[in-house]
Amino acid sequence: MTQLSLLAAKLEDAGQLTAIMKRTFDEEARRWLGALDTPVVDYNIQPPGYDSIYTTRYMIEELTYYKILAEEQLVGGIILTLTGNRFGRIDRIFIDPVLQGKGLGSEVIRLVEKAHPSVTTWDLETSPRQKGNLHFYEKMGFERTFETADEVCYIKRIPVGLAGENEFESCNLEGSTFYGANLANSAFSNSTLSGAHFSNINLSGSKFQNINFRDTLIADLNLSGSMVKHVDMSGVGFSDTSIEGAPVSFERCELMGSRFNNCEMDDVEITDCNISGMKIDGVSVEELLEVYRMVMKQG
């Protein structure tokens, strides 16, 4: 059998990992979506940013990202989110299509479990269209927990005794109130906090990843120094918000149709952006720039 090993991915691996991921998920799309009469968007088959080196870099920096080596050659990757000591999520696993069907995926799962022996609960999601994935994960001991027309959720529990101190699983704490509580360095995963109210809370240094914040009110916050990456903010509104002291930076963001009204925009810089249709006080920026270039050329 091919000798496999896992190594922590580094930023210099991002280009090669992105290329392999794109080949893998594009092949999956051709296999499972190509024959459909109506085009289907399936984010389990082609996850957001799967073909973006910037997404890969983000995942290397912020998640647990292993590159998969076969006989010392890079052939794929596996991306994990680890919550606390006992809970892990397999976000993505991909192996170059030319090497699939050789048992490499099974060995990768075993290597991940060996690398994280304290994790007793693993979960993941996949597309019900990927029949091979369903068979693979169930062969590896994962059990279905939830299923829709768009995704199948799996969980795998590894029995190693009772839960440790301050570890709560499958608890119903609905309606609970915590006042003066010390929950520093706590971890929440696969939990429902819909309708929760956080007030006068110190969340400095916290991480929010893979969270549904739809229709959430975020007000009276200090977010200075924070980073917002790979976030869908369609329909979000900002009002009475200050960014004094340090400028806000937008890179590779889709801001089509955004509106800025009654805002202080002193010293704002826009570089290398698509500004088609952009207007300032009703005046086309493209036309302004065209006039500016003509004047500069004549001068």
Block means of pLDDT (10 residues each) for the chain, length 299 residues?
90 98 95 77 90 94 95 96 90 94 94 95 95 95 94 91 62 81 81 81 82 81 80 81 76 86 86 90 91 87
Which two structure tokens, joined as six digits, stand for 264? Answer: 């202080």
Q: Which amino acid is at 275?
A: I
Q: What is the pLDDT of residue 36?
A: 63
Question: Does 217 map to a domain?
Answer: no
pLDDT number for residue 35: 66
Nearest to 220 by CA among 236, 237, 204, 242: 242
Evaluate whether residue 230 is within a structural domain.
Answer: no
121-126 and 87-95 as β-strands: parallel, antiparallel, unpaired?
parallel
Q: Range of 24's domain?
A: 4-157
Q: Which two tokens stand for residue 114?
A: 């060996």
Contact 155, 145 (CB under 8 A): yes
**What is the C-alpha to C-alpha distance for residues 74 and 92, in angstroms, rounded to an integer?**
16
Query: What CATH number is attached to the domain comprising 59?
Result: 3.40.630.30
How far apart, in whole angstroms, are the C-alpha atoms of residue 38 and residue 235? Answer: 28
Give me the amino acid identity at 119.
V
Domain-located, residue 73: yes
HSE toward the beta carbon, residue 71, CA cutoff 13 A? 3
Q: Could you tell me if residue 87 is inside a domain?
A: yes
Question: How many domains does the chain fold into?
Answer: 1
pLDDT at 37 (0 to 100): 65
Rounded-to-integer distance, Cα 187 and Cα 197, Å: 17
**264-267: long-range contacts at Cβ-Cβ below 8 A with a sequence spacing of 24 or more?**
none
Residue 228 lies in a domain: no
Block residue for tokens 């004047």: 295
- Does the model's pTM come out above 0.75? yes
What φ, ψ does residue 83 adopt, rounded to 5°? -115, 115
Residue 200 lies in a domain: no
Residue 169 within a domain = no
- Within-domain flag for 216: no
